[in-house]
Amino acid sequence: RKGEVPATSGKLMQWNLVVGVYKNMDASKVHRVFLNLDYRKQWDKYTLEAKVIDRGVATDTDVVYQSTKFPFPFSNRDYVFSR
């Protein structure tokens, strides 16, 4: 699915939604694979670095830093997110 939304700069930002189907896999296994940052670096060739940078013990959340390789002519991207 593709779409466009207006950005605060007045220009349009484009987005793509990618959906995958995992056949013959239970949801808990897929969940564990995506949460395991060390394993992600083995199967995702675009993940350069991924690590938990803060743990919220009271809220049971992690703050994750991830560096992702992008193809030329784009620069690599750094993400910080909570999970």
Question: Per-residue pLDDT tens for 18-64?
Answer: 788 888 888 888 888 888 999 999 999 999 999 999 998 888 899 99
Please check the confidence at residue 12 and state whether its pLDDT lies above 90: no
* Of the candidates 80, 29, 77, the residue with the CA atom closest to the CA atom of residue 52: 80
Q: For 1-58, what is the HEC assignment?
A: CEEEEECCCCCEEEEECCCCCCCCCCHHHHHHHHHCHHHHHHHCCCEEEEEEEEEECC
Is the model's pTM score more than 0.85? no
Please check the confidence at residue 7 and state whether its pLDDT lies above 80: no
